[in-house]
Structure 1
Amino acid sequence: MFHGSIPTDLRAIIHEHAGTWPGQATDVYVGCSGNFTIERVLAHSGLTLHSCDVQLYSSAIGWYLAGGTLPISLRDESAEELAWLEPYMDGRAGTLAVIMLGSRWLQWVGREQHPYYGRMLRAYRDQFERLHAQTVAKIETLPLRLGSYQAMDVNEWLATQVPEDAPVITFPPFFAGDYEQQFAALDQHFAWPEPTYPTLDDTAKATLIDRVTSRRHFILGLHFDVEELTPYLRGQVQTANRGVPINVYSSVPRSRIVRPAQRLEPVTSPRLAPGRRLGERLRIAPLTMGQFATVRSQYMSHRIRPGTPTMALAVLVDDALVGAFAFSSPKYDPHSVYLLSDFPVAPTSYPRLAKLVLYAALSTEAQFLAQRTMNGRLTHMTTTAFTERPVSMKYRGLLSLRSRKDSTDPAYRYQLDYGSELGRWSLADGFAEWRRRHGQTERLDGPEEDPAQ
């Protein structure tokens, strides 16, 4: 019932290593608790667990699991609009349930003028009594309990609250600001004794690494290599194809490497090859998830972390595969589908083949298949590009730039959000327009560069 999780294989590493610590190590300290997955892994180990974190969501859970009261109240500026929540806030499970449920919908408060957000807010308020009672019942049956919880910076906690001979486990946030962004709406509407803490930047992480690895027993999870810790590297877990690998450093001499097992299925259509001219008929065809994984692994940039689509479609001209795209179901706006992936095959003699894939994705035929698959009326499409450039050359001219901001992924400089109407043309008309605007730049003397990169 908590946000997020640690993969099964990573759970196994934690359980195996903690199980080898000497019997006298009965108290274990878990820093940067987040969603308390590490604590849940060790809930039945007989260990007394002590935790810390700096976010409201985590602190509400931690205080409850440690048997304390939750010193949380509505902020003065939110008291009138959200006064209906106060009867549910009892300082224990009731308050925790409000925080957990609020993490799902509070980001829409103040945006009621948008039809979707307004409907969702009304629905949550109408059903809140039932949802709150169900959540409280689940909370009260949680088997996990903590020996203590501190809302404070992990480095300060290690230096002042954790005995020097105590085992420590921590998987710090991969990127600065992860939890701040995820639970910003909670801080906007609730007052609580917020701890002061520095950003967990490279300097703070170096301090954290030193304070953890100086102990006799430790488990440390990081998304980057630390050369001086190579003798302690006991495992590496990569939970998704081309996902961020997690290095597990531990004082226990037991190793494990876990890589994702991706199901692949053959795609029998011939690929458009260099020197081959395009045919006359643009069409799209459904792909299984295994087939989509096959072509995605071959042609999508390896710097892009793949997600799981709701539907995937091949783009063909006559019988030749020229690319693929995938949609995810609407998340916030029920009429707006998300373009999760789009890419051309390569190499070919057409430098702007990526735009032909977009023409196919914006077609009435793609709109019809998406609506049939997702059982709803879909009128718009959104997508996100991570890039070093302030605009995406692939999307420019076809999609509208909705926002530009600094990337949360350190591999890129910008995060660009794009959108467009769906069903703007038929496949035949879109192909004709692409030929007129982009097809004449074809060259038949060698391979192309990928314009999507």
Structure 2
Amino acid sequence: MLFVGAIPRPFAEQALRVFDLQGSTEVFVCCSGSFRFEQGLMARSPDAVVHSNDVSLLSCAIGSLATGEPLAYHFKNDLEFLEEAVCGGSPLERLAALSLAVRMSHFHGASDHARRHREHFRVNVGYYLGLSKDRVAKYMETIRVRHFFAGDFRDHAAQAVQKGATLFAWPPTYRGGYERLYKFVDQNTEWSPPSYRVFDPKDLEGWVSTLRELGARFAVCADQRLEGLRPVGMYSAGRSKPLYLYASSGRNPSLRKRPETSDAIRYEPCDPCKLTETSRVTVALADNRVMNALKDKYLLAGLVHVTGQMGFVVFLDGALAGGYLYSDLRSLSGFRDPRLQRNTGIYLLSDFAVSRKRRLSKLVCMLASGQESVDVYDRRRLQRTVALVTTAFTERPVSMKYRGVFDLLTRRPGVLNYISEVRRADNQAIYREWWRRYALHPDRPATGSLAAES
């Protein structure tokens, strides 16, 4: 089954281990999502009556099927071919088609890459439905649910408090998350969605405090530190954003860490003062393990960084100068610019330079927007990138690193988004431009070949 934003399995297991389930005859799960809590409850509290809850079509279909009351939904428009493929099929077959529809929703854009993926699924629908049906059948065997409530999780929680039951919750981590994630599926599926109130994560602390005041037995997972409440558990996966567990009680405080996998490589760091006008540029692909090691060393300490889709390292005369990481712009929202071609482009997830001297970081940014690296990414993604977008988190009015090489796209408190069209030049030409514009700036001493002339 394909879920976006699902609670990490290790964190769900941690919550079930820390919270004392003894005496819990009824358990209400809010925002069941991928049903991780339900799966864990089968092992830790096999006799408890489990009441699940959610509002997304996929979760509602799973919860309804698990309780023996299959949900009615029909595919239409861009998903009409799925309806034809499962017409008259069993509820399990329809759920398999729905999971395939969710997978297809990641390719709903107008680019050639998205269009070819959708066509591939349509042509090979029988094959993918067969695979999906087997996976869904095995998945459903791991879930035990007595009742399922399709509606607002706060109403579900109120029922738990009224009955004196145990409550587990993984509320939405950003406002409007469900609506954006399932927009494509909802637009191309006919069903009766439940009514609910859109949740704002800023209200989480007040909601948890209310549960505590009511004397509820609860365990709430969150991706934010609530100032007025003390967590009983924390889960940290490498440098990813930590997750917190807030509960009415806990056996012992729990901290669980999953180290990020990384591989250090042997290299000589670049000394910008030794560069010359004819220094040679080499840009090479680097896997995620290598990029993780380099980001840990050169990105700001404590800065959260995540795995991208394609990483590059930059060498100047054989010495490491920096690196950059690409991600898919279509997985993000909020960027509006004609150069993005309906959000088809590249998101520059991170970039770093090994030295602050001679504005080396600007060269790395310029190479990141260069034709040679972009072409490598585009060939793999079957797309044509016109522009790249990146984000600088700063309270300053501009980012000195991106100023002059990227254009400011949007601004909001603490966040600056920048855009750059793809530089239609090879890496060596980009280096020469950087050398002319930044390496020979009058406020920096001449070095390299020019120093030899003086």
Indicate if the aligned counterparts of 1:155 and 1:211 stay in contact, CA closer than 8 A.
no
Q: Which amino acid in the other structure matches residue 226 of structure 1?
A: L
Superposition deviation, residue 31 in structure 1: 0.5
Q: Which amino acid in the other structure matches residue 123 of structure 1?
A: H
Amino-acid identity (%): 23
Superposition deviation, residue 393 in structure 1: 6.6
Residue 247 (str. 1) matches residue 254 (str. 2): no
Structure 1: segments with no counterpart, 5+ residues: 446-453
Give the superposed CA RMSD: 3.8
Paired position in structure 1 for 2:127: 130
Paired position in structure 1 for 2:351: 342
Q: Which amino acid in the other structure matches residue 53 of structure 1?
A: D
After superposition, where does 1:363-378 map in structure 2 within 5 Å? 366=373, 370=376
Superposition deviation, residue 385 in structure 1: 1.8
Instruction: Summarize the Cα distance change of 1:331–1:186 in structure 2 as closer, same or farther, 3 Å threshold.
Output: closer
Instruction: Summarize the Cα distance change of 1:127–1:206 in structure 2 as closer, same or farther, 3 Å threshold.
Output: same
Indicate if the aligned counterparts of 1:300 and 1:343 stay in contact, CA closer than 8 A.
yes
| Per-residue deviation, residues 387-417 of structure 1 (Å, max 9, x unmatched) | 469987755765688xx6798xxx8546556
Q: Which amino acid in the other structure matches residue 169 of structure 1?
A: F
Instruction: Summarize the Cα distance change of 1:366–1:218 in structure 2 as closer, same or farther, 3 Å threshold.
Output: same
Q: Which amino acid in the other structure matches residue 389 of structure 2?
A: T
| Distance (Å, rounded) in 1 between the aligned partners of 2:134 and 2:318 | 57
| Distance (Å, rounded) in 1 between the aligned partners of 2:91 and 2:410 | 39
After superposition, where does 1:62-101 map in structure 2 within 5 Å? 62-74=63-75, 78=76, 82-87=79-84, 88=86, 90=89, 92-101=91-100
Instruction: Summarize the Cα distance change of 1:167–1:147 in structure 2 as closer, same or farther, 3 Å threshold.
Output: same
After superposition, where does 1:14-413 map in structure 2 within 5 Å? 14-18=15-19, 20-22=20-22, 24-45=23-44, 46=46, 47-74=48-75, 78=76, 82-87=79-84, 88=86, 90=89, 92-106=91-105, 111=110, 114-141=111-138, 142-143=140-141, 144-160=143-159, 163-201=162-200, 204-213=203-212, 214-230=214-230, 233-241=231-239, 243-250=240-247, 251-262=249-260, 263=262, 265=264, 267-272=266-271, 276=273, 278-279=275-276, 280-284=278-282, 286=284, 289-301=288-300, 305-309=304-308, 312-318=311-317, 320-327=319-326, 339-348=348-357, 350-351=358-359, 353-362=360-369, 366=373, 370=376, 380=385, 383-387=388-392, 394=401, 412-413=414-415
Superposition deviation, residue 110 in structure 1: 8.3
Indicate if the aligned counterparts of 2:288 and 2:311 stay in contact, CA closer than 8 A.
yes
| Per-residue deviation, residues 273-313 of structure 1 (Å, max 9, x unmatched) | 7xx35334142354565553343223334575323245544
| Distance (Å, rounded) in 2 between the aligned partners of 1:107 and 1:94 | 21
Indicate if the aligned counterparts of 2:388 and 2:422 stay in contact, CA closer than 8 A.
no
Which is worse superposed, 140-149 or 85-94?
85-94
Superposition deviation, residue 434 in structure 1: 1.2
| Distance (Å, rounded) in 2 between the aligned partners of 1:377 and 1:132 | 24
| Distance (Å, rounded) in 2 between the aligned partners of 1:267 and 1:395 | 29
Q: As a proportion of its length, which structure holds more helix? A: 2
Which is worse superposed, 120-129 or 287-296?
287-296
| Distance (Å, rounded) in 1 between the aligned partners of 2:54 and 2:7 | 17
Superposition deviation, residue 169 in structure 1: 0.7
Superposition deviation, residue 52 in structure 1: 1.0
Superposition deviation, residue 359 in structure 1: 3.4
Paired position in structure 1 for 2:426: 426
Instruction: Summarize the Cα distance change of 1:25–1:329 in structure 2 as closer, same or farther, 3 Å threshold.
Output: closer
Paired position in structure 2 for 1:448: none
Instruction: Summarize the Cα distance change of 1:31–1:310 in structure 2 as closer, same or farther, 3 Å threshold.
Output: closer
Superposition deviation, residue 265 in structure 1: 1.9
Indicate if the aligned counterparts of 1:339 and 1:381 stay in contact, CA closer than 8 A.
no
| Distance (Å, rounded) in 2 between the aligned partners of 1:376 and 1:167 | 46
Paired position in structure 1 for 2:441: 441
- The secondary structure found in structure 2 opposite 1:270 is coil
- Equivalent pairs counted in the alignment come to 420
| Per-residue deviation, residues 146-166 of structure 1 (Å, max 9, x unmatched) | 111111111122224654311
- The secondary structure found in structure 2 opposite 1:269 is coil
Paired position in structure 2 for 1:451: none
Indicate if the aligned counterparts of 1:30 and 1:49 stay in contact, CA closer than 8 A.
yes
Indicate if the aligned counterparts of 2:283 and 2:314 stay in contact, CA closer than 8 A.
yes
Superposition deviation, residue 97 in structure 1: 1.9
Superposition deviation, residue 358 in structure 1: 3.0
Normalized against structure 2, the TM-score is what? 0.78
